[in-house]
Amino acid sequence: DVKVTQSSRYLVKRTGEKVFLECVQDMDHENMFWYRQDPGLGLRLIYFSYDVKMKEKGDIPEGYSVSREKKERFSLILESASTNQTSMYLCASDPSGQLLRSYNSPLHFGNGTRLTVT
Amino acid sequence: EDQVTQSPEALRLQEGESSSLNCSYTVSGLRGLFWYRQDPGKGPEFLFTLYSAGEEKEKERLKATLTKKESFLHITAPKPEDSATYLCAVHDLTDSWGKLQFGAGTQVVVTP
């Protein structure tokens, strides 16, 4: 079974702090994703990465950055946390790589990090 | 712009009371429609992928169907362990990165 592990289940940070959310997958998957989940809004894509050191903006990248130095690890960075970034953050992976048109695989999710910014 | 709308937002069922969840979508071209189940405090867990109108998939008490504009998730004779939030997502053929667009989900509670 694919395992996607997020390092923290709960985090409480203060406004203005730099926040790192870490995600590791153990199945050598090419693609990794960061979503945030808010009530009534569903999952919204922040950033994704299709290879080491490669990244693409999702639908709501403002206020976030990412890092992928190793294939198995994808980090989400909040440069200066704000209260409107209080949310559930979900990491996901899938094996399809850059040939997305020819491969239609489901995402494998971690259990999420609930971040509260005060 | 792609849109995915799920209804109802919440559903309360008695054990054994069958019902259906709806996912309506607007995409330029459908590559695939996914259903996920999410338990409280956990990440979504994959259930089904549907690719073309008329397709059906089943797993235990769940059956997913697909038309050109919507998908239904039928829950037959539900049990309390079917309580969860059910999410649908679409993959638009014209999105070169294959990003998924998610609906907001339907929260299902099944009482004994």
d(CA B101, CA A99): 19
Residue B85 above 70 pLDDT? yes
Query: How many angstroms separate the CA of residue B50 from the nearest CA in chain A?
Result: 10
The tokens of A34 are what? 């960061």
Q: Which tens digits make up the pLDDT trace of A45-70? A: 999 998 888 899 999 999 999 999 99
Within chain A, which residues score under 50 in pLDDT? 101-102
Alpha carbon distance A116, A8 (integer Å):
12
Cα B64 from Cα B48, distance rounded (Å): 7
Reduced to 3 states (helix: H, G, I; strand: E, B; else coil), residue A109 is strand
Tell me, what's the pLDDT at B27? 87
pLDDT in tens, B17-60: 999 999 999 988 888 899 999 999 899 999 999 999 999 999 99
For residue B98, pLDDT over 90 is answered with no
B3-111 topology per CATH: Immunoglobulin-like (2.60.40)
Which pLDDT band holds residue B92 (cuts at 50, 70, 90)?
confident
Give me the pLDDT at residue A106, please.
82
A101 SS3 class: helix
Cβ contact, residue pair A100, B104, below 8 Å: no
| Distance between B8 CA and the closest CA of chain A, angstroms | 12
Q: Where are the domains of chain A?
A: 4-95
CATH architecture of A4-95: Sandwich (2.60)
Query: In this complex, is the C-beta atom of B31 within 8 Å of any C-beta atom belonging to chain A?
Result: yes
Domain boundaries, chain B: 3-111
Within chain B, strands assigned E span 3-7, 10-14, 19-26, 30-38, 45-50, 56-59, 62-66, 70-75, 84-92, 100-102, 106-111
Distance CA B71, CA A95 (A): 25
Model confidence pLDDT, tens digit, residues B59-83: 999 999 999 999 999 999 999 999 9
- CB-nearest partner of B49 from A48, A58, A106: A106
Give residue A97's pLDDT.
Answer: 60
Q: Say if residues B86 and B35 touch (Cβ distance below 8 Å).
A: yes
Chain B residue with CA closest to A100: the answer is B98
Tokens 């709308």 belong to: B5
